[in-house]
Each structure stands twice: as structure tokens, then as C-alpha cells.
Amino acid sequence: MTQLNYDLLVIGAGSAGVRAARLAAQAGAKVAIIEQQALGGTCVNYGCVPKKLLFYSAAYQTLLADSGQFGWKTASSTFHWQTLRESVTAAVEEIQQAYQNTLAKAGVTVLFGKAKLTASHTVQLNGQEIHAKQLLIATGASAFRPPIPGINDALTSDDMFCLEQLPQRLAIIGGGYIATEFAGLMQRFGVQITIIARSPRLLMGFDAECTEVCARQMRANGIDLRLSQDATAITRLADGSLQVTTETGQQIVADQVLVAAGRHANTEALGLDVCQLDLDDQGFIKTDSLGRTNQADIFALGDVTGGMQLTPMAIAQAEALIRHLFTPPAEPVDPDKVPTAVFSDPPIAQAGLTEAIAKSRGMTVKVYKKTFTGLRSRLSQRTAKNFIKLVVDSASDQVLGAQMTGPDASEIMQGLAIAIQAGATKADFDRTIAIHPTSAEEFTSLTEVDSEKS
């Protein structure tokens, strides 16, 4: 059996793996990276990139519907799913090639196949034995299928990008960001949507007021939300449709069912038992804040470790780990400062601490918030409201967190995340000259009392 030797072997070519491999190679290490499927991981192939392209497409539905009030006389428009799917596939393939070029330029050896650990620092791949001084596991996570009858008839988020045609009716099991995003996308593509979620509200990790604003608008858009309902079975009916039954006996009939009930670590058949790595009760690899496991020179990053399953978080973790290994000391990523967004309809974004988290830590905070109608809605005559919120430390006046529900929330939140990272105070926000007219300017004039402008 042929043996290959490297300084660092990375298993998994997603966001964390690719960034770590490239930086390590640029630091002078001999690096190889193994990928079982396609370069880019979940984000590029089945996650953020294709989903955001669908989000851009879905936005045209709203723009076309409102265009008459803005003076545009448009002929009737027709949505073609196959055209969009092919365009998205082509864009994803371009990004995959860009990843290939980036790794090659850095001098990283790219290997494809299914890796299996045979010793703590040795991997078997395609009949070859690969040994490395240091090992990084960055294999990501996949959709979790709850153990209920008929679950194998359900689609996962990966499948949604490969549909030959859209269903007329889609039932979605789950109430997290994947469920909420696909609900908004598919509804604007003309699909009748029902969400079945065991939680009492959508997006439990996000600010409750923000998610309630989103839920109200989703209902107004025609999405049927069945909250506090646990799906117990999926049954194939005689006409080929699927019936979802809940614990309370409700029955929802749809053409397809999407299961979006969480994710599990991609560690099956990897042979982790030979390394004796510590796992949590859900099977994710336990690490410290720099990605170190309980075994020397074995590291894990990204979704395979659980925690915040976000591409920028995985990249930041990779950068911190490589600094730790090659140019110490390294400062770990502060999860309290990480911004995130849900590309739902309407979108939600937040950075820093929510009100609930701050109070759960015993912090005394002031909360500034506002509900208002965006200028665009004046002509479109839509009833959707924007909601914004700041969480401020009462003693220091430092802004601990910001949240928003409404158009362009993610773009606005990126700027606010910089301010929060820099330690800006509420007084700093108030002294900032606003750009008018924008939704973002409302963050510069928030009062402590909730107010609503019609």
C-alpha cells in the first residue's frame, strides 16, 4: 500500500477546511485536503450560495407585483423553475472551480474519496495510506431525519435544489432557519406552504419579537404555520401525495414534504473510534475555542463541532487555529459578536446579544426598539412592518446587540456588527449622521419606549 506523508491533513473541503488548508500551506506546511463530494461543502453546494441565489430570484416576484404602483406597465410574467435551477447550478460550478484554483495556487494537494481513519494520524483513502503530523476534521453536518414512519419519503434541503419541478403543495417539518427560508422562497415561487414545527415559535435562537413580526407577515403571505405540533408520521396516499400526521391528530396533505428538523455531524464511517475523540450527546466533536480536541494534534472545525453553524464562523475558526499553530498566540472567535441572518420573507438579522440572552446572564440592559413602515411600502401599499431593536448595557451604555426584521436586514446588520465589535455605545449611534431616507437611519434615533410609526 502506498503511503503519503503530510504536515497537515484536512478531511472535508468546506469553508473551514479550505481556509485552514490554504493558510497552512501559505505558512510553509505540506498540506493535503480530502473531499468526498464537491469542493465548497454545504455552503457552496447546498446551502448559503444556491439558497441566496433563489432568494434573489424570489425577490423579483415582489418587485413585479408592485411595479405598477411605481409607474411600470409590465406584461404578464411567468416563472420558470428549470431556468433558475440551471443558472444556479452553473454559478455553483464556477465557485467550485474557484476553490480548486485557490487550493492549487497555495500548493495544497486535493484528494477525492471517502476517508477512513485507521490510526490517530493515519487515513486510508482509495487504497493509499496517508499519514500526517496534524489532522483537521472539518466534515460538516447533514440534515437530520427524525425517526418517524415514512421519513424516507421526505426531501432534505439538499434535494430542494435538484427538483425537476416544483410541487403545488409543500409541507415543511421544522421551524428553524432552513424551514423558514425555504417557506418564503417556495411561497413566492407559487407553492402552497404549510410549516409543522414542535416549537411554540419560529427561529428559537433569534429575538422573539423579531420572529413574531416575521411570522405575522408569513401568515399574511398565505403560509400556514402549525406551531407546537410534532410530526409523528408521513404516509404515502393512493394518489401519490403525502400526508403528515401530527401528535394532536392533525393531517396535512402535500405533494412533497421537506424535513428541516436540525442537522447531525458527518462522522459516520470516518473511524473516529480509533482516535478516541470526545463527542457530545448529539455526536458532534467536542473542541475548545481554538478547535483543539482531547487528542494531541487532532483538531476539528465548523459544523462537525456543532455550535454556530455559519460559514463566516467556520472561516474565522480556521484562521484562529492556523494562527495558533504557526504564529501564536491566537485569539479565539468571540461567539457573542457574531452576526447572522435568515433570508426569510421578511428577512431577519442580528448581531451580538439578544435581550433574552443578556438578561439570562444577569445583565441589566436598556432596550430600544421601533416598528415602522418602510418608504417603499408607501407606494406598494403593502402592510408589512419593519422592526428594529438595540440591546444596551445600562451601566456602560455599550451596545450589546442589534436585531432587525425587514427588507435589507442582512446588509444593514453587517455595518452594525462592525460597530458592536468595536464597542460602540448608544451615544455613538445617536451622534451618527443618518443617510436619509433609509431604514438603517432608524438605528440612529431610537428611543427607549417602543413606538410605531404608521
Annotated binding site for FAD: 52, 303
DSSP letters spanning 40-56: THHHHHHSHHHHHHHHH
Annotated catalytic residue: which of 80, 121, 131, 436? 436
Residue type, 105: K
What are the angstrom distances between the C-alpha of 313 and each of 211, 316, 336? 22, 5, 11
Cβ within 8 Å of residue 4, ≥6 positions away: 32, 128, 129, 130, 131
Binding site members: 52, 174-181, 262, 303
Task: Label residues 309-338 b or e (16+ Cβ within 10 Å = b).
Answer: bbbbbbbbbbbbbbbbbeeeebeebeeebb
* Beta strands, E only, 63-191: 109-112, 116-119, 122-125, 128-137, 141-143, 169-173
Residue holding cell 406551531?
Answer: 227
Binding site members for NAD(+): 174-181, 262
Contact 257, 234 (CB under 8 A): yes
Three-class SS state of 291: coil
Task: Label residues 266-303 b or e (16+ Cβ within 10 Å = b).
Answer: bbeebbbeebebebeeeebbebeebbbbeeeebbbbbb
Contact 117, 271 (CB under 8 A): yes
What are the angstrom distances between the C-alpha of 272 and each of 53, 152, 299, 375? 36, 27, 12, 55
Which of 56, 53, 59 lies closest to 88, judged by CA?
53
Distance CA 214, CA 191 (A): 19
* Catalytic annotation present for 436: yes
- Which residues are tagged catalytic? 436
